[in-house]
Structure 1
């Protein structure tokens, strides 16, 4: 009986994780308004009726997707924090962004596009949650500039993340992944020239 319960727990966790991963992908590709629970269920290979066992509403799935964005950011910055130099950490972040250039050119920044869309739906509070995910990125970038000992680390962080959002938007709008490559190279040059 104990093994059956463990198996049930693993199956439950597996389905929930698949649904969350599918929500992240579908919301990025289609947006909140166009994505249905049935779309997410199909992408997760979970019967649509089972979705309600894990998530009562689409907003709960959106919230899970936002949590996944935050978890992904924390995983990425955690790996980058292993680098001894904050300048190299920021370059590593740029490289990660540029590495996603084809997806960004097609769908935009996953968190940024979701934040913009959720801002139109202020009744759910999800717009605030999306802002928190972006705030975590800003705070991490600012911390790197502080460790570098440069003047105005908060302003530099805003400009750095703003540049990423701008190049993501342009890359997506023009369907040109090379905008990410060129924008990333510019950010790296700026980091190299910072004293």
Structure 2
């Protein structure tokens, strides 16, 4: 039995390493430029073994999206520990600004995937990345609702769009200071909202 459990744990570990590697490589290189060999190399898994866990590159893209969804879920759960919705939103902005160097180099992981996947033939993956944005927008809207703001969904769209805009410009201009300046502007906007 221990042998069987050990091999299951090893298989889970390989799958997790491949998923994490897919998320990282796809963020850095994009879907079209990434090969299964790139992902296998970063995960330290022989290329031939990848097909045991993921039959196609699209399966790896879906796994990367799942990793992004898990990361978002953990981040939002962590933010939810703070009882103050305004502080939660401010902490979310701070987390975006904290990743400014990575964003300036590679863009927003979810945003860049959304743009790239939208240019392909519709295959369902494009709608899966949209679900990540829906989750984020819904969470942000709930914070604005708790703050008693009118039109919380509209405010959430503005808030998330501001992040996507500052991420895009920071990446296009390779300027991480854009994230700092625009993040501060977002925090001031939050502070100025009436209570």
Q: TM-score range by the shorter chain?
A: over 0.9
Partner of 1:23: 22
d(CA) in 1 for partners of 2:41, 2:169: 31
Q: CA deviation at 1:79?
A: 0.3
**Distance in 2 between residues matched to 1:14 and 1:48, nearest whole Å:** 16
2:157 — aligned with what? 158
The 5-angstrom pairing of residues 68-147 of structure 1 reads 68-147=67-146
Q: What secondary structure is seen at the aligned counterpart in 1 of 2:150? A: coil
> What is the deviation of 1:151?
1.1
**Cα distance between partner residues in 2 of 1:55 and 1:92:** 36
SS, match of residue 82 in structure 2:
coil
Matched residue, 1:50: 49
Matches of 1:134 and 1:59, distance apart in 2: 20
What is the CA RMSD across the aligned residues, in angstroms?
Answer: 0.6
| Counterpart Cα distance in 2 of 1:43 and 1:120 | 26
| Equivalent-residue separation in structure 2 for 1:122 and 1:160 (angstroms) | 30
What SS is found at the alignment partner of 1:151? coil
The residue matched to 2:182 in structure 1 has which SS? helix
Structure 2 residue aligned with 1:11:
10
Q: CA deviation at 1:190?
A: 0.3
Unaligned runs of 5+ in 2: none
State the TM-score, normalized to the length of structure 1.
0.98
Alignment of 1:54-69 (within 5 A): 54-69=53-68
Q: Which whole-Å CA distance do the structure 2 matches of 1:94 and 1:84 have between them?
A: 17
Q: Where do 4+ consecutive residues of structure 1 move more than 6 Å?
A: none
1:122 is displaced (CA, Å) by 3.2
Partner in structure 2 of residue 36 of structure 1: 35
Give ranges in structure 1 of 5+ residues lacking alignment: none
Using the TM superposition, give the Cα deviation of residue 57 of structure 1 relative to its aligned residue in structure 2, in angstroms. 0.5
CA distance in 1, matches of 2:136, 2:66: 13
For residues 123 and 148 of structure 2, what CA distance do their matches in structure 1 show?
40
Q: Secondary structure at the match of 2:70?
A: helix
